[in-house]
Chain A
């Protein structure tokens, strides 16, 4: 059973078992703090009975004009709580915020090109591979920029795949 609520500072002190997953990045404190302070609606945690952190999503909204979009910065679920569609719930929450509250055109995210289970999951959630970002992860592994159009992008222009791979320097937003 799950409670999904806004992330709070104390959650940083009890998410170790989630972040010990090797694909989950642990950022520095200012990173989390900035997200909490600036985009609190995009930072949610799923908590099991007993206060155990099951997973969380951290994101933001940014861009200009038709590039105004929600971005998933981190999405992770602890191994013992996987296969319960928790990631889907968290993603839906972020998409709803982007769509209804911030009237964004699309939601995007980056995923390691080797992370097949995650790519499959995002595809199931309606995301498409928009473009490949060469050596995005620590200058070693390619990242896939995946997107899902929101209701404002009626023609789904935002998700028309980009013709060529790009480098991290060419990214519009960091």
Chain B
């Protein structure tokens, strides 16, 4: 910024520079002092005011900054105002953008443009304002004005780019495409085109109108010389030509020959050859970012299909001959694809697929097409082939065989003993190859063994539910990471295993070692955040959330916009892509859900202190801010930016964990088996919109429930918080509760029926996937009922205080009676209790607290007669509330007792319990063997073989210390939970005293 100097509004540079220097070095106080002094000297200078606004905004004084901007704007708009220069305008724009008042910046630029017709600099500023506001039409009009003013190609392209944005990202822009084409043609006739990007843009406009023949002609003509790389030009032609002519192989062949390993091109080739129906529009220009996927069946006759496929095979075989020299593997996979297509088209001959696979087996296989016998045949053939290889590549080859076995031998169907044996082999091999002579690259093969051993052990757990296997999986990973600390993909598995065992402190520690930063916070924080958000570890969760939010803020969106500006000057194609990315980012569910989670976490943290909580609610505009984030139109636009490919097979999505479910072969074949070839991308995994909506409702519902249950709602806040009279509160709460019910999968009435059926014993909690939200719903409905008079309630099935009490008691009793020791709990057994106390019961206590506060003014708490002597108090309500306090107190008391029982266990005792899962006792089947293998193999390791570093690591590793860490971390979970229970009990005790 300091470089933007010159005479601005008549102020000499020497007076301005120190202010910018101070801003750049974050000396804001000094900067403010200087800017105030400058303003005294130049009181009528909009630039001086803009500078002051910059400083104030940086100091966090948003309102003062805005006021300074408005003053500057007024001066700019006055008839006698000073000369408007771009520096003043752009400085104002910077501040206003940060204050989220782009409209004001635009208005200043618009005024300036009207005042100084054809001032290019100001027009460019205005164009950029419209870019930031997504005003595509105004962008286009401004660009055209600039083009008319100076006739430069770039401004014409800005206009064309704006038209494309309008066509792509808003409705009704298609009719503008002919206009764009006409403008470009006219320009070409006058002065041709000079930039490759301009030509790309022109082709793109033609493609969008399906004028493929014209586009092809343009590329083939003189203008084609603008595309400097022949390969790029050829690629564009390749995508266009088939759309206008039928005989394409003459152009495809040389292209494929030049790039025998290009999968995308090969798929295009096959699709064209088989005349499959594909939407080709804009492939030449944007095809680089989209994978052409063929899913449609060929229209050709069987005979013609076979002929063409045979010709493709001959062509691919030619490519294979060349490819051998270059070690490329693509043509071999291409042969597999050809056989697969043949099979898909009804001519099933899987022996040919097997043959193709044997020729190309190492990397990518379509094993799901084969039956069991064919898979066995394939394995045999591969093993036979391996037998002839030299020992140099033994490890690599063995790993490959293991890999293929894992993929094609339906592991989930194998005998337990077989699974154990294969896991043992992998671990033995790993220990055997702990060698100093192994290159770093080859060490990765060892990690592959650990990866596979873990997978099998987890599968064994799923099948047998024997915790020992999970503990062994953890030992395998911990050992691997002890030897090599940096294998991050193994850490991700550990994060998930520890989370599943509800040992979140260790999960969190391992996640932190991933050193996740920048854009990865958006794409991979899903590995830890969902679990932490329901944990009792407030501080750690808050830190994780803050870090995520800090990186996912609107600043990122600004960065994308800045890149847009760079791109529009150079690569227009990217400019359009940046806009798409910008829109995607702005609607990112990770970002928006983190914001909602942050509101809810703050509520949970402050729930024991009503004053603190009110401040939190005030900060969230009494729950209106979260609600605004989840307006229906915004929910529709939600995007999902997570990279789900890094998730383990047993938990492909945050809401799914197969290990919590009973084992069944069908599910196992889906999650553990080979994935059905390709085209399953994480983009298909959309955001969880119902969860998003439910979270957005919670803060407002909590606030309104607190108000509803109080006999005297705070009328004075009507204008600011959308609260108001009892009637309006009840109306709003009623409608929000209907949405809440929908978000947990019920209609309002069905949800109430379901809850009542639990309290009458007709139904059990097991019927509900989300117990906590269900109980919260009952609590909120009860608060809502309290705000209605009996006439209004007539005809409605009531959820009363008694129903809520019964529900809480039943839930706690059911949960506690089914709980085993916390140390060996899996899934979210303890965490459900934590969530129940931290959320549902917290909301309930808050509702009661709010009531009591409203009837006992501050300072009069100790009055002997309590609140009952207030004339407007509803005595039955008061009694119901009193009973509820006792009920919640007793429920939390029971939970607390259970937690304390668990905490009281000694660490040694806990380690013994865990170790008992790993004791084989001479049984032929069962966990414990891996531990034995590790102990035996590591006991005989020689320093001379493995080198001093690995030797030290091996010797310093102890399985017992891993188990001790687990016990210790579990203790922390319980201690943190115990403290929460304790604090809730204290609050309840003080509430009891109020009566």
Contacts and interface: CB of A to CB of B under 8 A. Distances in A.
A2 B566 contact: no
Nearest to B517: A26
Contact of B264 (A3, A15, A17, A28): A3
Nearest to B567: A37
A33 B581 CA distance: 11
Given A29-B519, A50-B678, A51-B681, A1 B364 contact: yes
A4 interface: yes
A45 to B, nearest CB: 10
Contacts of A29: 518-519, 556, 559-560
Contacts of A13: 519, 522-523, 641-643
Interface stretch (B471-479, B486-494, B978-986): B486-494
B266 interface: yes
Nearest to B440: A117
Contacts of B421: none
Interface stretch (B326-334, B697-705, B742-750): B326-334
Interface in B504-551: 514-515, 517-520, 522-524
Interface string B391-426: 000000000000000000000000000000000000
Interface string A75-88: 00001001111000
A125 interface: no
Nearest to A79: B444
Contacts of A79: 444, 447, 489
Contacts of B229: 100-101
B263 A17 contact: no
A38 B566 contact: yes
Contact of B440 (A15, A19, A116): A116
Given A15-B643, A36-B571, 8 more contacts: A1-B261, A9-B580, A21-B488, A22-B515, A26-B519, A33-B560, A34-B566, A50-B678
B486 A17 contact: no
A82 B442 CA distance: 10
A64 interface: no
Interface in B620-649: 641-643, 645-646
Interface in B628-682: 641-643, 645-646, 675, 677-682
Interface of B: 228-229, 261-266, 288-289, 291, 327, 329-330, 333-334, 364, 439-441, 444, 447, 486, 488-489, 492, 514-515, 517-520, 522-524, 556, 559-560, 562-564, 566-567, 570-571, 574, 577-578, 580-581, 584, 641-643, 645-646, 675, 677-682
Interface in A121-140: none
A2 B330 contact: yes
Contacts of A160: none
A165 interface: no
A37 B574 contact: yes
Contacts of B334: 1
A20 B440 CA distance: 17
Interface string A1-31: 1111110111011111101111000111110
B327 to A, nearest CB: 6
Contact of A38 (B330, B556, B570, B677): B570
Given A1-B334, A2-B263, A29-B559, A36 B574 contact: yes
B444 to A, nearest CB: 5
Contacts of B643: 13-17
A32 interface: yes
A52 interface: yes
A159 B123 CA distance: 48
Instruction: Give the one of B266, B440, B556, B574 with max A CB within 10 A.
Output: B574
A140 B236 CA distance: 47
Contacts of A28: 518-519, 559
Given A5-B264, A5-B288, A14-B645, A49 B570 contact: no
A6 B288 contact: yes
Given A14-B682, A16-B643, A82-B444, A47 B291 contact: yes
Contact of A20 (B262, B289, B330, B514): B514
A9 B288 CA distance: 12
Contacts of B559: 28-30, 33
Chain A interface SS verdict (over half): mixed
Interface residues of A, number: 46
Given A2-B330, A9-B577, A29-B560, A16 B520 contact: yes
Interface of A: 1-6, 8-10, 12-17, 19-22, 26-30, 32-34, 36-38, 40, 47-52, 79, 82-85, 100-101, 116-117
B645 A8 contact: no
18 contacts: A1-B263, A1-B330, A1-B334, A2-B330, A9-B578, A10-B581, A14-B523, A17-B645, A22-B486, A22-B488, A26-B518, A30-B562, A37-B564, A49-B364, A49-B677, A49-B678, A79-B444, A116-B440
A100 B330 CA distance: 27
Contacts of A82: 441, 444
A79 B523 CA distance: 19
B132 to A, nearest CB: 16
A50 B679 contact: yes
Choose among A1, A48, A79, A117 the residue with the greatest number of B CB atoms under 10 Å from its CB: A1
A13 B680 CA distance: 15
B646 A83 contact: no
A83 B641 CA distance: 30
Contacts of B447: 79
A49 B677 CA distance: 8
B492 A20 contact: yes
Contacts of A37: 563-564, 566-567, 570-571, 574, 578
A100 B230 CA distance: 12
A27 B291 contact: no
Contacts of B289: 5-6, 8, 10
A15 to B, nearest CB: 8
B333 A1 contact: yes
A84 B364 contact: no
A19 B519 CA distance: 10
A117 B580 CA distance: 39
